[in-house]
Structure 1
Amino acid sequence: MVLWIVIGVAVLGLLVLALAARAVLARLPELARALRRLEDRQARAQALGDELAVLQERAESVRQQTVVTQQRIEVIKAARGRA
């Protein structure tokens, strides 16, 4: 009698495990698509990050050119003021 109870509990446990595994395996294609979408987003975010770095470098360059231009304008104004 105890043997049948143990066997029944073991079979019930295996049945629950099989149902849980079936649910996970049924979602694998959906999860794979979601993974591909996330990888695509990550690649786009990386590309945008690279573009941002280039733009920041360009902005710094323009800022430096602006400072030099302002200094030249001040020199020109000072020279005209003396003349």
Structure 2
Amino acid sequence: MLWWIVLAVVLATLVLLAAAVRGVLARLPGLRRAAVKLQRRQDEALELAGAAQTLQERSEALQRRLAVTQRRMELIRVKRQG
């Protein structure tokens, strides 16, 4: 009689374990899709960060050119007035 109880407890535990594993396995495709989507977004973010860095560098170069041009304009004004 004791063996039947032990067997029933072991079988019930195995059934619960199988149900839990089935639930996890059923979610794996969705998790895979989410991981692929996140990887794609990360790649896009890195690409945008590179573009932003390039734009920042161009902006700084233009600011330097503008400063040089403004200095030249000032020199030309001084020469005309002087």
Is TM-score (shorter-chain normalized) higher than 0.5?
yes
User: Normalising by the residue count of structure 1, what TM-score does the alignment of the two structures yield?
Assistant: 0.86
Q: Deviations over 1:27-79 (max 9, x none)?
A: 11111111111111111111000101100100010010111111111111111
Gaps of 5+ in 1: none
Q: Which moved more, 1:1-10 or 1:13-22?
A: 1-10
Q: Secondary structure at the match of 1:11?
A: helix
1:80 corresponds to 2:53: no
User: Normalising by the residue count of structure 2, what TM-score does the alignment of the two structures yield?
Assistant: 0.87
Give the corresponding residue for 1:60: 60
Alignment coverage as a number of residue pairs? 82
- Among the aligned pairs, what percent are the same residue? 44
Please report the RMSD computed on the Cα atoms of aligned residues, expressed in angstroms: 1.4
Gaps of 5+ in 2: none
1:2 is displaced (CA, Å) by: 4.2
Q: What is the rounded CA distance, in whole Å, between the counterparts of 1:59 and 1:12 in structure 2?
A: 69
